[in-house]
Structure 1
Amino acid sequence: MTADDVTLVQERHGRVLVLRLNRPDARNSLTSGLIGEIQRAQVAAGKDDGVDAVILTGTDPAFCAGLDLAELGGTGENLMAVPDPDIPPGHRWKPLSKPVIGAINGAAVTGGLELALGCDFLIASEKARFADTHARFGLAPSWGMTARLPALVGRAFALRMSLSGDFVDAQTALRVGLVTEVVAHDTLLDRALDVASTIAGNDRSGVRTLLASYRRAERHLLDPALVVEQETSDEWKKTFDPSVVADRRSSVIDRGRDQVRR
């Protein structure tokens, strides 16, 4: 297996682990196999005493274009897989006791946006773009979109993103609170490593206690919303027709490319 065949690259930088989605020709879209790799890598990172922070990023040109549409429009395996009982509703991986930082290097779309929202906070390249295209495909989210997106950007802006499917650029994402910082594209990973290393250099117990406290404090808002989203998704899946995705795939991709070029 060559480096190009590895769909999730793992790199250690001191006490920081970088996980990099590596399907650049498919804009790092998520197959069922890659989803499993991410979940297993996060579990391993959670158990590794040598890791105090995780960075999730993508190989250029995208962060993650969402579920792999070829697989979704065929078997639908990346959407219909039986949930892991160890992963709570609306989460993409079993929650870690250490922070996960999203370094958003390009487009984060639909499932890719939900992947980003599963991180504790985001740092964006100037080339980052964000969109929720569930409505364009007639899909229902199940990875926390309807809970986490409004919690960050407010209900009205979240609804605008989800109902329109339009892209939001990095500076707008910063203005509405989706990301914490926008940096030059070539400096993104270095900046994320700087922040992660600062966190890793703090008192470990203090960091993990604070992180756990933040998460417990938000559960009374997020957990009920995540359960509602999961129930809605479960009902929707009973009528899901993969052929609809296949039929709409080209038009949705073309529309997205036109927006990103502007």
Structure 2
Amino acid sequence: MNSSLLKVDYPLPGCTRLTLNRPDSKNALSRALRKELTSALDALGGDDRARVVILTGAGTAFCAGLDLKELGSAASSDVLGFDDQSLNPVAALERLSCPIIAAVNGPAITGGFEIALACDIIVCSRLARFADTHARVGILPAWGLSQRLSRAIGPYRARELSLTGNFLSSERAEAFGLTNHVVDPEALQAEAVALAEAMLSVEPNTLRRYKKLLNEGMQLSLREALALEAQVAVLSAQDVKMQEVEQRRLDVLARAKRQA
């Protein structure tokens, strides 16, 4: 799966790390990179090495968004490819049932911001910055930024960012609840891997089911989401033997003692 545009490695058994690898272009999303990333994410769907996925960028940037140089030299607007699902990595992130950690090592701009927002958890370096520059370049978002950002940080903050194109620092992103952790640059990958390791310690089927329940519930009213939770809990309990539940409880206690 490795290529010059996308690097793949396995920092832990059960964890796959994808690294956008166009550092000289701030990992800008060329048509070729979009296609390769989308394909790679879809290929991870049935891969036991990808019970948790980490997505990051090479060099000093996470992702600068769409490759504007490529767009500017294109003979046709078809290069955007917004109707082509094979060029839509955000849709591929949404299809992936396992948890996805965005390890944002530097600027995440516009399309790069959308990719980070499509992940389940965002950890970032103190050098990370976020920006929605759609209004500045004259293109409206197509990968969810206009909807996800307001749900993540609130509508007033989101409007300010999107209607000005201003940058959001890592510190303010943490204060806004956008990022889970902000760490020194050299500690970022270790932080992401530690989170992945914690997720890999839980029961695998429950990990995927819980992500699905959380994400589906966010699309519903509270009353509907509570009803969904109750229904899913009953179905889940029918699939689990009580002896297995007790063993998992003991495993959790043992792990807590080791960490104490």
TM-score per shorter chain, which class?
Answer: 0.7 to 0.9
Matched, 1:82 2:83: yes
- Report % sequence identity: 37
Residues of 2 paired with 1:185 and 1:18: CA distance? 17
Contact 1:63 1:104 in 2 (8 A): yes
Give the stretch that moved more between structures: 157-166 or 92-101. Answer: 92-101
Q: Which of 4, 10, 33 is 1:6 aligned to? A: 4
Residue 109 of structure 2 aligns with an amino acid whose one-letter code is V
Counterparts in 2 of 1:5-154, with a 5 A limit? Answer: 6-13=4-11, 14-75=13-74, 76-84=77-85, 91-154=91-154
Give how far 1:94 is off: 4.9
Residue 84 (structure 1) shift: 1.9
Q: Is the CA contact 1:71–1:77 (under 8 Å) kept in the aligned structure 2?
A: no
How far is 1:50 from its partner?
2.6
Give, as a single letter, the amino acid of the residue that structure 2 aligns with 1:6.
S
User: Taking structure 2 as the reference length, what is the TM-score of the superposition?
Assistant: 0.79
Larger-gyration structure (1/2): 2
How many Å apart are 1:177 and its aligned residue? 1.1
What residue in structure 1 maps to residue 198 of structure 2?
198
Aligned to 1:259: none
Report the residue type matching 1:34 in the other structure.
L
**CA distance in 2: counterparts of 1:11 and 1:165, whole angstroms:** 34
Residue 220 (structure 1) shift:
3.5
Deviation at 1:80, TM superposition (A): 3.0
Q: Name the SS for the 2:149 alignment partner.
A: helix
Which residue identity lines up with residue 129 of structure 1 in the other structure? Answer: R
Question: Would you say the 8 A contact 2:10–2:17 is kept in 1?
Answer: yes
CA distance in 1, matches of 2:142, 2:175: 26
Contact kept, 8 Å, 2:122 with 2:179, in 1: the verdict is yes
Aligned residues: 217
In structure 1, stretches of 5+ residues that fail to align are 222-262
- CA distance in 1 between counterparts of 2:111 and 2:79 reads 11
Considering only aligned residues, what root-mean-square deviation do their CA atoms show, in Å? 2.0
Query: More relative contact order in 1 or in 2 (CA 8 Å, sep 6+)?
Result: 1
TM-score, normalised by the number of residues in structure 1: 0.78
State the SS of the aligned residue for 1:73. Answer: helix
Shift of 1:138: 1.1
**Matched residue SS, 1:177:** coil
Distance in 1 (alpha carbons) for counterparts of 2:204 and 2:87: 25
Q: What is the rounded CA distance, in whole Å, between the counterparts of 2:14 and 2:132 in structure 1?
A: 33
Q: Secondary structure at the match of 1:202?
A: coil
In structure 1, C-alpha distance between the alignment counterparts of 2:88 and 2:169, rounded to whole Å: 31
Worse-superposed segment, 79-88 or 56-65: 79-88
Instruction: Give the CA deviation at 1:92.
Output: 4.9
How much does 1:93 deviate?
A: 3.8
Q: 1:63 to 1:32 in 2, by over 3 A?
A: same
Name the aligned partner's letter for residue 47 of structure 2: D
| 1: CA distance, partners of 2:67 / 2:88 | 21
- Map of 1:239 onto structure 2: none
Deviations 1:74-108 (A, max 9, x none): 224442353228979x7354511101110000000
SS in 2 for 1:98: coil
Q: Distance in 1 between matches of 2:83 and 2:108?
A: 24
SS at match of 2:39: helix
Letter aligned with residue 148 of structure 1 = R
What is the CA distance between 1:59 and its match in structure 2?
0.6
